[in-house]
A and B are shown apart, each in its own frame.
Chain A
Amino acid sequence: MLLVLALAVLAIPFVVPTVWMVAASLKPLPEIFALSPWTDQPTLAAYKEAFTFQPFARQYLNSVYIAVLVTLITLVVSALGGYAFARIRFPGANALFLVVLTGLLVPSEVTIVPLFQLFKRAGMINTHWPLILVTALAAPCVLATFIMRQFFIALPVELEEAARLDGLGRPGIWLRICLPLAKPALSAVAILTFLASWNLYLEPTVYLTSPELFTLPQALTRFTDAYGGQMWNTQLAAATMTVLPMLIVFVLAQRQFVEGLAHSGLK
């Protein structure tokens, strides 16, 4: 009982902000700083304003489509690379794997200065290309390739040999035998990558200038009035819309989330 009490107290800073966010987003503006989570006049005005003040629907769509695209590309690239590094013997494989691992050593905050110049030269500033290309092929993807490699190394090789005797080539073995078995690793990679893309903040801040191209994290910080003051209720409403879908999916697929994200703690 004492244990549960201690845990409940510890849990306060983990739970209260989210609950407070939702509660405050439903309050009329004058009550927003009131301590009581309850209001007699709940209102969706802040939610409406989020969509009129900025092209929020468009920004939401940007975040979703970029994250989906990045996840799909990463799944393919990492499943291909991870498989080859684990299973196929070719000259220079170890050296190439070391090259790939440098992607885990170098923070994106370091490469963004030169990358900005590169994308400027390519005419890709204020487009989604840098967000998609770099995220899908650099840091999170390298971690994904590493995870896939570890998975394929542990997979019994006999299954493939049987398929090979049946006349299946490498690509066929990869597609029909190995990928279906790799579902747990693929789902871990998908969750990890989706969240990495969904959370990007530095990159959109650096590359994007038009509000209709913004992604959600960037858009959330732009709900300020003409004097630079924060429009708290609109901001909290927008934050609620950003956070709740993710929390719901997390509660439904908790095991996959925890397993997938634990990888990010031990790369």
Chain B
Amino acid sequence: MSYWTIRRRDVLTGYMFVLPQVAGVALFVLLPVGMAIWYSLNDWNVFTGQQTFVGAENYAALAADPQLPKVLLATTLFSGGVVVLNIALGLLIAVLLNRKFRGVTLFRTLFFSPVVVSVVAWTLVWGFLLQDNGGINGLLSTVGIDGPNWLQHGDTAMISVIFTQVVRSVGVNMVLFLAALQGVPGELYEAARIDGASSRSVFGRITLPLISPTILLTVIVTIVGALQSFAQIAVLTAGGPELSTTVLVYYVFQQAFKFNDIGYGSTLALMLLSFVMVLTLLQWQLRRKWVFYEE
């Protein structure tokens, strides 16, 4: 066989190998995004399913929607709360586990275990514990605290969904932080110790700056994850009470599938897409810049 026959066959093999994945993305990602853009320019009759072109009307409706500010506030509170608590807790656990002692692997297993628990099952159990007469208030009453009816008030419902989400998913960030901490060269710590630095300033001046790329990347990935938390909200609060925990992804679902308003639902979905896209592109950009920190 000549070089060119082999080469041509190789090119053909290349196309055949990537075909299923490329076709899958074209059909189930790109085509639907195109359709969503088209849908957002149309008005759908809720009852007949009749479609009429309305131009930017659905986008104008965004500005006029009295519920949207509340939804965006809930989205910001939820994503912000999740990211702050997740990073702080993940970092704290990672720092505590980043030393050698008996039982360190057991603790790592325990902290990671909720990650493999089904989201819905995990959230249902927390819903059970957060009932007014449930386990959390039972435990609180043993120390003399009269706990609130967690899921029935706006503020405590928001705290509940944030906390439930963080505890379930912080294990992933813990593992990433542990890997980053173990990547900090030991000589740096030794040098600092010789110079008589306090452990607080070692953490602030050596550890934190060196693992900051990992922190920034996990911050973005965690926000993106929070923006897509549908099951947690649907199962724990169904967006309530009132609209206090109706985050954007849940609002999209409500508009499109509960109220069958496909045009407006698609417009909202594109808004969600733009948030996620900006964050993900930012993450890829940063990742390329810092790729030398990995492995």
Contact = CB atoms under 8 A, between A and B. Distances in A.
A80 B125 contact: no
B124 A33 contact: no
A27 to B, nearest CB: 12
Contact of B167 (A14, A77, A102): A14
Interface in A115-138: 115-118, 133-134, 136-138
B235 A111 contact: no
Contacts, number: 285
A128 to B, nearest CB: 15
A21 B253 CA distance: 29
Interface stretch (A45-53, A180-188, A215-223): A215-223
B128 interface: yes
B5 to A, nearest CB: 11
Interface in B136-154: 138-139, 142
Interface residues of B, number: 95
A266 B138 CA distance: 38
A45 to B, nearest CB: 17
B204 interface: no
Contacts of A77: 20-21, 24
B230 A202 contact: yes
B292 interface: no
B26 A90 contact: no
B269 A80 contact: no
A264 B30 CA distance: 22
Interface in A214-267: 216-218, 220-221, 230, 232, 235-236, 239, 242-243, 246-247, 250-251, 254, 257-258, 261-262, 264-267
B227 A102 contact: no
A3 interface: yes
B3 interface: no
B227 A107 contact: yes
B9 A169 contact: yes
A136 B228 CA distance: 19
Nearest to A216: B118
**Interface SS of chain B: helix, strand, loop or mixed?**
helix
A108 to B, nearest CB: 8
A170 B89 CA distance: 48
Contacts of B10: 88-90, 170
A30 to B, nearest CB: 13
B119 interface: yes
B46 interface: no
Most A-side CB within 10 Å, residue of B32, B138, B257: B32
Given A110-B252, A202-B230, 17 more contacts: A7-B93, A11-B110, A21-B128, A24-B128, A84-B14, A90-B10, A99-B30, A103-B24, A107-B272, A109-B269, A111-B28, A113-B257, A136-B24, A142-B29, A199-B120, A201-B120, A217-B118
Interface of B: 9-11, 13-15, 17-18, 20-33, 35-36, 39, 89, 92-93, 96-97, 99, 101, 103, 107, 109-122, 124-129, 131, 133-135, 138-139, 142, 163, 167, 171-173, 175-176, 179, 217-218, 221, 227-228, 230-231, 234-235, 249, 252-253, 256-257, 262, 265-266, 269-270, 272-273, 276-277, 280-281, 287
Top 5 closest A-B pairs, CB basis?
A137-B24, A84-B17, A90-B14, A114-B35, A81-B21
